[in-house]
Chain A
Amino acid sequence: MSTSFLLTTVLVLPLLSAVASFTTDRQPALMRWLVFPLLGLSGLAAVWLGGQTLLQSTTETLIYSPGLPWLHWHFRLDPLAGFFLALIGIVTTAVSLFGPGYVREFEHGKQPLSVLGFFTGLFVTGMLMVVVAADAFSFMVAWELMSLTSYFLVVYQHQNAANRRAGFLYLLMAEVGALSIMLSFGVLAGFGDGFSFEAMRAAPLSLTWASIAFALGVFGFGMKAGLVPLHAWLPEAHPVAPSHVSALMSGVMLKVAVYGFIRLSFDLIGDVHWAWGVALLIIASITALFGVLYALMQHDLKRLLAYHSVENIGIIFIGLGLSMIFYGTGYPLLGTLGLVAALYHTLNHALFKSLLFLGAGAVLQRSHERDLERMGGLLKRMPWTGLFFLIGCISISALPPFNGFVSEWLTFQTALQVPNLSSGVLRAVIPIAAATLALTGALAAACFVKVYGIAFLGQARTRRVRRSSEASRGMVLAQALLAVLCLLFGIFPTAVVNALNHVTQSLTGQTLSTATAHGWLWLTPVSADAASYSAPLVFVGMLLALLAWALVFYVLRPAGRAQTRRGDTWDCGFGPLSPRMQYTSTAFTMPIRQIFAPAWRIHEEQEREMQPGLPLEPAQIRYQVHAEDITWKWFYLPIVQLLHATTRRVSRIQTGNLRHYLAYSFVTLLLLLWLIT
């Protein structure tokens, strides 16, 4: 099959899925039999096309001319685009397995299903188109398609005020970001004399203009990706969207922003400057730490996951920042290492974050709960979802032998190469970033112990949770797919690094050939002496170690007695334990709240109802903690105030008098005429 045919298929299938969803108003069952299968096919096609492009390392440019005669649409498939196509494809496939079971909840809801299906299809089309676009026009069109359709998905359940508010914030920030990206492209197009990426790549840029383009790009793409302090829309918008859309937004759309950033800085601008890397590294470290600290304080499961996306975007950008520093100071091999680490983490985050959002969706559907404080004991009620959610938790906490660990390991290895650098400042900054990364990883583990321990272990805290049951087969299958991939990409990192070598080869002309020089068993990023990690052997070793302990038990076990007995939990002799005696999510993070207190604006609420006649004996106590995002106070509110003040000044010229407006028009015309002549 020719590439152009395949690409057309990849882009048209989700469009078909979008159009097909209009049939579901009459026949809701078609959602299951037509809309989602089409979406799944598009996902598979994207994986196929992307994988092929990536593994065969081909580059192909295609030109379509659907619209204006002098404005063709350029599409280009190269390994970078292929990698992101495959990534979008994997998650889309999983989501289309998950969707049919999940949207049954909406069948009798207030909104028509067709709206959901239509915008989901368009959303996927937009994302797929962004990564293959090869000129600024088609890129921006695809980008806007992605942003606008996801806005409609966020406000899908618009009867809730929170959704409308989140949607507005999202739309506003998405458009500000898009404006900044457009300006960045404008700088490149102005010097390169053309809007195609080809022309932009050839643009001769002075350092100042390149820095301006880069800064605009960081702002624009960073706003979409969720770099602090531009992340504010993310924890608002991701949780309120339907869960399979949250998975797409958090798992994939943020990655599309990462794609845009990589395309802009490593491909279009090309010569990265080390100072950009330092700036990015500082922002990224703050983002990572900020994200995990706020995630810890959340008890809404989806909101917590959204903050973890902020954290992981931080980790990805730490890799990118390190990469830029090393490329900029003349260590292309180490720069490639950083880039590979960042791309690897991009893939991993797409997998485990989608997995976790799908798991959260399954829990939400079966128990109608998003609040951790009301969950508990879900593992016994939803064993499969519980198992796969656990795998997601282990992966995101960067524990061996799962995938999250490999990419963090690679990032650490990049950071450890600082002694090569000659600048003392750089040598001092990077270890501090590495320390931040280590702290972030450890806090993430604490956070996911909290999530899993509170939600899935222990006893159910409410009746709805106690009565919940396992999700439908498709929903479980979708999670299984992602969980297995999490494990596979953790155990066979050399295969992934080999594939990523094609990306770096086409982007910067460098590969990380040393990393896989010792065969598929050994991952040796710099040299075998400096560091090595054999994930397959670790996995086998883990199984052997379990076997060894089983053997120890077999030798030492007592003869002829029942090995295990069930009994009551020890209650200190005070009578039966109730689910309310368990540690809560708020209680779990209390020590951390005390240690890192300045990081949040904590609002504590306490209500006491006293027993009548006993003024010191409370009958009921309600306690609530809410951690407010400090960026609101220190970043957003000042901007809003400035905006208000400015508009108030500007509004003075709006007198409401017709003659004045005519005068304005006249002066403007004169000015323009003067400018032209």
Chain B
Amino acid sequence: MNDWLLALIEMALFVALAPLFSAWVKRVKCWLQNRRAPSLLQPYRDLRRLFAKQVVLSHNASPVFRATPYIIAGATLLAAAVVPFISVNLPTAAIADVIVLAGFFALARFFQALAGMDVGTAFGGMGSSREMTISALAEPAMLMAVFTLAMVAHSTNLSTVIDYLLAQGLVLRPSLLFALLSLLLVGIAETGRIPVDNPATHLELTMIHEAMILEYSGRHLALIEWAVQLKLLIYGVLIVNIFFPWGIATHNSLHALAVAAGVVFFKLMVLGVLLAVGETVLAKMRLFRVPAFLVLALTLALIGLLSHIILEVG
């Protein structure tokens, strides 16, 4: 029972901290670009404001449009529930393994893209078309990267994978290095960051995600924004906890949990700085350059998989 309570608390932490992580990335970016940064609480204020606003629906909007924000937020929340955040003994991790995790993201994306086409504007269709194209290449890359991990640890269960890597100690495996690089590229593409998509723009020629949610307002928009922030944090936690698992709590004592929370915080802060640096030094790619970027991710993941199978097994 304690385990389940802990899992619930971790999930709540995930949800509560997601806007903070986005704010942190934005703050570092502002520092790097000589701008004055907004308060770290700004995303929370935005969400609160959006929740309080009236929803304006298009006359064309169908029930799919209204249900989508809840489905996206729900699927992302479930995804958060199965990723080990502070403690590795997560009972919820057994419910859904890493393939199901990809499935949750795919479900959210499916509805997001449908909602984009629901109102019947050119913008929405454009966003949906681009999003599905990009994800069609990003999803296999992600699966291949996590399959590398799964084969290394003989499990697709995230808790087991992290446990195994912790028990192994510091072993430099080329396969994991490739998987890490691939997952970084996929994470950038899937969470819509520079150089694939720019979350800060409404310029029609470049936008992908923003084009799909152009018609949303009020609480619907709040839920979608929150889910986007949550997804970014999930990818961050996946990367830091799988490839640098040291510090994560392996037993549920209060001390261990507190230490683990501190360590994860630190790791995420470093990752946030790296992301901000990346977004500052890179420019957004032309849309038809993105496939090359994702094929690179897929190739890296496949090389990782093959190098595990050929070099490390047996």
Contact = CB atoms under 8 A, between A and B. Distances in A.
B174 interface: no
Interface string B50-63: 01111111111011
Interface string B38-56: 0000000000100111111
A589 interface: yes
A587 B74 contact: no
A458 B129 contact: no
B94 A528 contact: yes
B136 A428 contact: no
Contact of A538 (B95, B116, B138): B95
A567 B306 CA distance: 54
Interface string A568-593: 11110000010101110001111110
Given A549-B70, A564-B54, A533 B121 contact: no
A443 B136 contact: yes
Contact of B120 (A431, A545, A557, A579): A579
B140 A435 contact: yes
Q: In this complex, which of A453, A538, A582, A594 has the most chain B Cβ atoms within 10 angstroms of its Cβ? A: A453
A553 B132 CA distance: 29
B106 interface: yes
Contacts of B180: none
Nearest to A559: B52
Interface string A425-460: 001100110110011011101101110111001110
A377 B156 CA distance: 41
B309 A419 contact: yes
Contacts of A610: none
B245 interface: no
A476 interface: no
Given A416-B150, A581-B121, A442 B136 contact: yes
B100 A533 contact: yes
Contacts of A413: 99, 156
B260 interface: no
Contacts of B138: 442
A606 interface: no
A575 B146 CA distance: 48
B214 interface: yes
A296 to B, nearest CB: 9
A643 interface: no
Contacts of A558: 51-53
B144 A412 contact: no
B55 A564 contact: yes
A563 B54 CA distance: 5
B94 to A, nearest CB: 5
B135 interface: yes
Interface string B88-119: 00000011110110011011011001101111
Main secondary structure of the interface of B (DSSP, over half): helix
A533 B117 contact: no
Nearest to B308: A419
Q: In this complex, which of A397, A419, A528 has the most chain B Cβ atoms within 10 angstroms of its Cβ? A: A419
B201 interface: no
A534 interface: yes
B189 interface: no
B118 A458 contact: yes
A449 B128 CA distance: 8
A108 interface: no
B83 to A, nearest CB: 14
A529 interface: yes
B139 interface: yes
Interface string A141-181: 00000000000000000000000000000000000000000
Interface residues of B, number: 83
A399 interface: yes
Contacts of A569: 58-60, 119-121, 215
A561 interface: yes
Contact of A565 (B56, B64, B306): B56
Contact of A546 (B63, B74, B298): B74
Contacts of A561: 54
A279 interface: no
A522 B94 contact: yes
Given A443-B136, A538-B96, A570-B214, A529 B52 contact: no
A376 interface: yes
Contacts of A454: 117
Given A400-B103, A449-B128, A583 B117 contact: yes
B255 to A, nearest CB: 27
Contacts of A582: 117, 120-122, 125
B119 A412 contact: no
A340 interface: no
B95 A418 contact: no
A675 interface: no
B119 A532 contact: no
A572 B11 CA distance: 40
Given A427-B313, A458-B120, A568-B59, A435 B298 contact: yes
A168 B144 CA distance: 43
B28 interface: no
Nearest to B94: A532
A379 interface: yes
Q: In this complex, which of B133, B291, B313 has the most chain A Cβ atoms within 10 angstroms of its Cβ? A: B133
A577 B120 contact: yes
Contact of B119 (A399, A405, A442, A458): A458
A537 interface: yes
A667 interface: no
A613 interface: no
Interface in A511-546: 522, 528-534, 537-538, 541-542, 545-546
A584 to B, nearest CB: 8
B143 to A, nearest CB: 4
B100 A439 contact: no
Interface string B119-159: 11110111011101101111110011001001100111100
B31 to A, nearest CB: 31
A424 B48 CA distance: 56
Interface string B75-97: 10110010000000000001111
A114 B283 CA distance: 67
Nearest to B50: A556
A520 to B, nearest CB: 14
Given A394-B110, A537-B95, A583-B129, A530 B156 contact: yes
Q: In this complex, which of A422, A442, A588 has the most chain B Cβ atoms within 10 angstroms of its Cβ? A: A442
Contacts of B103: 398-400, 405, 409
Interface in A576-628: 577, 579, 581-583, 587-592, 594-595
A367 to B, nearest CB: 17
B54 A449 contact: no
Interface in A327-352: none
A427 B309 contact: yes
Contact of A531 (B119, B155, B287): B155
B223 interface: yes
B203 interface: no
B198 interface: no
Given A400-B96, A434-B144, A562-B54, 4 more contacts: A424-B309, A442-B139, A530-B156, A545-B74
Closest 4 CB pairs of A and B: A583-B125, A453-B117, A458-B120, A545-B74
5 contacts: A434-B144, A445-B132, A446-B136, A531-B157, A566-B59
